[in-house]
């Protein structure tokens, strides 16, 4: 029996390569030892199962890293990892080791198959979570046209190929129609993961053409999984008849309608309820997996495949505003680190490329690749022409849509496990998926490089890039701690305006007027006034933005509690909020400090704060008074964050803002040079704020006060131009009491206008 290569013989080309090969050598030796120890046993071996998982993860990750470094998607490395470990490579080079790691015992195969089947559902869940339906609506006409022709033309090609295929390649010659439908489906859809990855790598994610390519792939995936579910449902029935076809089609239609109507609200409620009521670790991830399982079982019960349920569950979960980035990364990490390399590795193990030594099979595989590429290219190009794209754009689109990759492998694996494909057909489809996927990235890069960027698109890209780095645009949940006082209602109004611009969910924590923070709250039901104020402001914002992409409706939740204010805020803060908005009756004291109620609320929340101190008309008419906003700016991060909040509020109520910069003069011999630098800094800061406002169609006026104390400059500007709302960026200072510095304290004590302190 051959021996493992000693680690010392590996050429010193790269530390990573040496480590990887040493690990593989150790794995090979351990597998032989495990096989020798377990060889006398009958049934499945847990030790060999563990060796299989380690081998698939290690080889898949190493080859995935290699693929990434040469500009290919890492999923191809994971698939090639299975091919290397399977009969195609290791089975030829070292057959004894290959049989030792992957014995043919049915019990042993069943253990891997269980992981693979659950892996399919998780991959479809992740694909659904990455499906952006808003993106599809943005370029809906072109995407729909492209996806329809992009599915129809290759489907016809694949169906015709199935009708002409020799009987010895069919699993059941008497069910040729079923195999033809399956083959047409397998050839008709693109891999959204790989298409999106290459478009993202090229920097085309937000370009119009990039949006159309990704949106078309999303539509194709969605259409494709519905067709696949129906086709596999027919395959499970064993024959095609009117009743089974009607059951599959009708069941799928009812499931989709139910899922995207009341099912969407149920999923959102379950995720939010789990996040807000469970204290154990990772409860939302458990709920997501339960939702996926229930929806997969539902599709199984109505006669279609479980993959449709997992995919639709992913779409609904991805739209939930409670799915924070942290939770998304945790779930994605589990799938990408374990299930993806194992699943695609198992798919590679099932492909025996040695059969391509047969000239007939090799020619048929090349013909399959040619037909699949022609069908997809022609369908996408025609759809692009109908969708109003230029020839260059349609050509680039056609290049991008030819990537099959993960989607075809999943479909082929399901077909093989159900007996709808022979081993030879499976190998041919996997080979086609590998070839088309690896050819797509260089073709798409070349084609996209020939598509020019228009002025309008450049302006939109700059605005969206700015929003991605902004504060307000990245808010997912607001916590609103307010009482029924006029100041509380004014805070609720501003929170509604802020949330309405981006469809941000708000949780209201009602506080009793005049309640002592050290005592218990009165046990009374929260009033509807605050909720109505928030919703009315958010709806006004939505109406004001009707010319743009309308945000999702703002979800408002009233959280009942009977604890002291500080404890209630601290307990609620554990559920994950991006901003706490505070509006209570007792906000300030005579010397410019904050009331102890505000200090205790703020100390219970570790994240960003927005503390409101209302004045004048805002207290007399908190829900209707006009806004004339002043935002002091210094160029630092906290003032920029305050400017972002001020612009969002101004955009919502269609009012102007004034950006105030206080310049201080230099001294001594370097005064002239210092003054020049100060003016340049001043110009850069004001230009940044004006550009921020312009991107959101907000009118911004600038003002500069020189050689004056900052708080006096702010008060003078308020008096001169009649500003009624100051939005001021501040930082918390150490100490027992809430303190934002001398300037903020002086403004709080003396300003005749309402104030919003935006604190980091």
Q: Where are the domains of the chain?
A: 1-104, 105-448, 469-625, 626-727+739-750
d(CA 563, CA 569): 9
Integer Cα distance of 590 and 583 in angstroms: 18
Region 469-625: CATH code: 3.40.50.620
pLDDT at 237: 61
Find the helix packing angle between 106-129 and 46-69, rounded to 10°.
40
Min mean pLDDT across 462-466, 648-652, 654-658, 702-706 is at 462-466
Q: Please say whether the beta carbons of 758 and 733 come within 8 A.
A: no
pLDDT at 35: 54
The per-residue pLDDT for range 480-521, each reduced to its tens digit, is 888 888 888 888 888 888 887 777 888 888 876 444 444 444
Q: What angle do CA 390, 185, 262 make, to 5 degrees?
A: 85
Mean predicted confidence (pLDDT) in 213-225: 76
Distance (Å, whole) CA 675 – CA 545: 42
Q: What is the pLDDT of residue 180?
A: 84
Backbone angles phi and psi of 702, in degrees to 5: -115, 150
Of 754, 724, 753, 729, which Cα lies nearest the Cα of 740? 729
What's the pLDDT score for residue 676? 64
668 vs 550: CA distance, rounded Å: 55
Q: What angle do CA 154, 160, 166 make, to 5 degrees?
A: 130
Which pLDDT belongs to residue 201?
58
Greater confidence (677 vs 145) lies with 145
320 phi, psi to nearest 5 deg: -70, 125
pLDDT-wise least confident of 153-162, 341-350, 399-408: 399-408
Residue pair 532/687 in contact by the 8 Å Cβ criterion: no
Give the side-chain half-sphere CA count within 13 A for 226.
Answer: 16
Identify the pLDDT of residue 196.
67
Q: What is the CATH T-level fold of the domain 626-727+739-750, as seen in this structure?
A: Rossmann fold (3.40.50)
Contact 131, 318 (CB under 8 A): yes
d(CA 119, CA 380): 30
**Class of the 105-448 domain?**
mainly alpha
pLDDT given at position 153: 92
pLDDT-derived band at 193 (thresholds 50, 70, 90) equals low
Helix, strand, or coil here: 185?
helix
Residue 161 pLDDT exceeds 70: yes
In the predicted structure, residue 58 carries a pLDDT above the cut 90: yes
Residue 759: predicted pLDDT: 87
Contacts of 659 (CB under 8 A, 6+ apart): 631, 632, 633, 643, 686, 689, 690, 700, 701, 702, 703
Mean pLDDT for 103-130 is 84
Average pLDDT, the chain: 79
pTM above 0.75, yes or no: no
Q: What is the pLDDT of residues 335-375, one digit of tens each?
A: 888 988 888 888 888 888 888 888 999 999 999 999 999 99
Of 659, 724, 648, 664, the residue nearest 687 (C-alpha): 659
pLDDT level of residue 547 (50, 70, 90 thresholds)? very low
b/e string for 32-69 if b means 16 or more Cβ within 10 A?
bebbeebeeeeebbeebeebbbebbbbbbbbbbebbee
Distance CA 321, CA 556 (A): 12
Fold agreement between 105-448 and 626-727+739-750 = no
229-285 pLDDT tens trace: 777 766 666 555 667 667 777 888 888 899 989 898 899 889 888 887 887 888 889
SS3 letters across 641-656: HHHHHHHHHHHHHCCC
Whether the per-residue pLDDT at 449 is higher than 90: the answer is no
Average pLDDT over residues 26-52: 64
**Residue 668: pLDDT over 70:** no
Per-residue pLDDT, averaged over 562-574, amounts to 80
> How large is the average pLDDT for residues 721-732?
88
CB 22 within 8 A of CB 10: yes
Contacts 24+ apart (CB under 8 A), 520-523: 520/562, 520/563, 520/564, 521/561, 521/562, 521/563, 521/564, 521/565, 521/568, 523/562
CB 586 within 8 A of CB 514: yes
Reading the block at residue 388, the tokens are 């109003």
What pLDDT score does 293 carry? 94
**pLDDT of residue 334 exceeding 50:** yes
pLDDT in tens, 577-589: 888 988 888 888 8
């Amino acid at each position: 029996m051959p021996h493992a290569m000693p680690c010392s013989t590996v050429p010193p080309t790269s530390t990573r390569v040496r480590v990887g090969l040493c690990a593989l050598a150790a794995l090979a030796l351990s597998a032989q030892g495990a096989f020798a120890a377990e060889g006398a046993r009958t049934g499945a071996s847990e030790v060999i199962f563990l060796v299989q998982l380690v081998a698939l993860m290690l080889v898949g990750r190493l080859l995935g890293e290699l693929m990434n470094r040469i500009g290919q998607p890492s999923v191809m490395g994971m698939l090639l990892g299975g091919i290397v470990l399977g009969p195609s490579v290791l089975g030829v080079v070292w057959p004894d080791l290959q049989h030792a790691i992957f014995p043919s015992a049915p019990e042993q195969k069943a253990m891997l198959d269980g992981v693979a089947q659950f892996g399919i559902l998780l991959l479809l869940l992740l694909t659904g979570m990455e499906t952006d339906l808003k993106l599809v609506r943005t370029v809906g006409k072109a995407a729909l046209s492209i996806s329809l022709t992009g599915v129809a033309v290759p489907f016809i090609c694949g169906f015709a190929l199935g009708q002409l295929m020799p009987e010895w390649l069919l699993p059941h010659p008497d069910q040729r129609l079923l195999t033809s439908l399956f083959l047409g489906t397998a050839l008709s859809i693109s891999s959204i993961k790989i298409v999106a990855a290459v478009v993202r790598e090229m920097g085309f994610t937000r370009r119009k053409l990039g949006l159309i390519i990704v949106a078309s792939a999303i539509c194709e995936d969605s259409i494709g999984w519905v067709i696949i579910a129906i086709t596999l449902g027919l395959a499970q029935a064993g024959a095609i008849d009117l009743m089974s076809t009607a059951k599959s089609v009708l069941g799928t239609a009812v499931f989709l309608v139910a899922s995207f109507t009341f099912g969407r609200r149920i999923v959102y409620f379950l995720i939010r309820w789990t996040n807000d009521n469970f204290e154990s670790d990772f409860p939302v991830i458990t709920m997501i997996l339960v939702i996926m399982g229930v929806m997969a079982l539902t599709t199984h019960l109505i006669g279609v495949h479980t993959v449709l349920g997992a995919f639709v569950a992913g779409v609904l979960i991805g739209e939930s505003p409670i799915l924070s980035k942290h939770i998304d990364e945790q779930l994605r990490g589990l799938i990408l680190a374990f299930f993806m390399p194992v699943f695609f590795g198992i798919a590679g193990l099932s492909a025996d490329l040695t059969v391509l030594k047969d000239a007939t099979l090799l020619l048929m595989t090349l013909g399959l690749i040619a037909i699949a590429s022609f069908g997809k290219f022609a369908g996408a190009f025609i759809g692009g022409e109908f969708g109003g794209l230029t020839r260059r754009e349609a050509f680039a689109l056609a290049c991008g849509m030819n990537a099959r990759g993960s989607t075809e492998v999943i479909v082929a694996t399901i077909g093989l496990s159900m007996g709808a494909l022979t081993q030879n057909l499976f190998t041919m489809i996997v080979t086609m998926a590998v070839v088309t996927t690896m050819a797509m990235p260089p073709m798409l890069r070349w084609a996209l490089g020939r598509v020019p960027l228009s002025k309008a698109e450049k302006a939109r890209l700059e605005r969206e890039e700015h929003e991605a780095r902004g504060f307000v645009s990245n808010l997912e949940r607001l916590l609103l701690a307010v009482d029924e006082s006029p100041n509380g209602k004014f805070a609720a109004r501003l929170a509604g305006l802020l949330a309405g611009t981006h469809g941000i969910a708000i949780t209201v924590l009602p506080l009793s007027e005049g309640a002592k923070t050290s005592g218990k709250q009165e046990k009374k039901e929260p009033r509807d006034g605050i909720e109505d104020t928030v919703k009315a402001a958010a709806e006004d914002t939505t109406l004001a933005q009707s010319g743009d992409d309308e945000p999702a409706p703002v979800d408002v939740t009233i959280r009942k509690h009977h604890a002291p204010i500080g404890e209630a805020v601290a307990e609620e803060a554990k559920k994950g909020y991006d901003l706490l908005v505070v509006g209570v009756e007792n906000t300030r004291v005579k010397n410019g400090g904050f009331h102890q109620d505000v200090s205790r609320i703020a100390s219970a929340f570790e994240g960003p704060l927005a503390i409101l101190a209302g004045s004048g008309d805002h207290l007399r008419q908190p829900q209707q008074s006009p806004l004339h906003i002043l935002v002091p700016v210094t160029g630092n991060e906290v003032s920029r964050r305050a400017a972002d909040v001020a612009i969002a509020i101004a955009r919502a109520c269609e009012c102007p803002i004034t950006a105030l910069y206080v310049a201080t003069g230099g001294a001594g011999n370097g005064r002239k040079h210092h003054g020049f630098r100060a003016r340049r800094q001043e110009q850069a800061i004001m230009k940044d704020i004006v550009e921020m406002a312009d991107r959101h169609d907000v009118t911004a006026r600038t003002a500069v006060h020189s050689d004056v104390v900052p708080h006096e400059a702010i008060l003078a500007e308020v008096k001169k131009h009649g500003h009624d709302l100051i939005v001021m960026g501040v930082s918390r200072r150490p100490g027992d009491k809430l303190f934002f510095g001398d300037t903020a304290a002086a403004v709080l004590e003396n300003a005749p206008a309402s104030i919003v302190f935006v604190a980091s």
